[in-house]
Amino acid sequence: MNWIHTIIDVPSDLAQPTREFWSEVIGAQVGEPWPNHPEFTSLEPAVGDAFVHVQVVDGPARIHLDLSVDDLDAETRRLVAAGAVASSRRETWQVLTSPGGMPFCLVKESDHTITPDAVRWPGGHASRLLQVCIDSPEAVHNQEVVFWPTATRWSVRPSERPEFAGKCYPPNGPIRLLLQRLGADDPGVRTRAHLDLATDDVVAEVARVRELGATMIGPGFGWVALRDPAGLPFCVTDQSPS
């Protein structure tokens, strides 16, 4: 897996506030619409390669991942054998869903190599988008825990907390994956994802993102959950941003 992209899918009426919000959150500039696919806009860091993009979709807001590969056909066959379901195919990407029903894409490109650094904000604290949390219902959690390390070929470090199966760490790339089992009270039936920020000052970072338009959900054990302007949940965590 050469690189991993985070795609924030939003309906057209929420695209501009989502671009503005997340560009400010991660310290990036809103790029121009892609020439051949104007539904996509990249959030371009001052230093390093873009890995967060906003896509206009006909449907509800969600997060999906694009995995960069060298051989679309071979990787599609490998992941279907691992439990993914393949659907539409274009010349340079393949759409699939994970065993728990989370959409993702394989994309044929390999020119992204430089991970952006954490941003040091005027108040003195630092933050960065560190990980994507794969949230899977209990019925499909074990399948997802096996699938994502297989899909990425990344190593897994177990977690001490029972709701987390572990974290998948890339050898090179901007984000890692956290594998979380949703509680029995969660109404979801399909796997979904949310974004996690890392910071050395949770209180300051929560205040900053709320000023940018985030709304509070509530605190957890080492994190605070919020919603972005599109209604998507994300967390500010006390993990190191370095």
Question: In the predicted model, is pLDDT for residue 1 greater than 80?
Answer: no
Cβ atoms of 158 and 165 within 8 Å: the answer is yes
CA distance 23 to 30: 6
CA distance 202 to 49: 26
CA distance 199 to 127: 4
* pLDDT classification of 85: cutoffs 50, 70, 90: very high
Q: Tell me the per-residue pLDDT of 143-183, one tens digit each, with 9 for 90 and over.
A: 999 999 999 999 999 887 878 889 999 988 899 999 999 98
Please state the separation of Cα 35 from the chain's center in Å.
23
CA distance 192 to 147: 14
Task: Show me where the domains of the chain are located.
Answer: 3-108, 119-237
Q: What is the CATH number of domain 119-237?
A: 3.10.180.10
Whole-prediction pTM value? 0.95
Q: Tell me the per-residue pLDDT of 109-121, one tens digit each, with 9 for 90 and over.
A: 768 889 999 999 9
Helix (H) or strand (E) holding 180: strand 176-181
Same fold, 3-108 and 119-237: yes
pLDDT at 144: 96
CA distance 145 to 5: 20
pLDDT at 186: 80
pLDDT at 12: 97
Question: In the predicted model, is pLDDT for residue 131 greater than 90?
Answer: yes
Distances (CA, A) of 12 to 60, 112, 131: 10, 27, 26
Helix (H) or strand (E) holding 181: strand 176-181
Cβ atoms of 84 and 45 within 8 Å: the answer is no
CA distance 74 to 64: 21
CA distance 172 to 177: 13
Largest CA distance in the chain: 49
CA distance 52 to 127: 15
- For the chain, the average pLDDT equals 95
* pLDDT classification of 31: cutoffs 50, 70, 90: very high
Residues with Cβ within 8 Å of 167's Cβ and at least 6 positions away in sequence, in order, are 131, 156, 157, 159, 176, 177, 178, 179
Residue type at position 136: S
Cβ atoms of 230 and 210 within 8 Å: the answer is no
CATH 3.40.30.10 fits 3-108, yes or no: no
Q: Tell me the per-residue pLDDT of 57-70, one tens digit each, with 9 for 90 and over.
A: 999 999 999 999 99
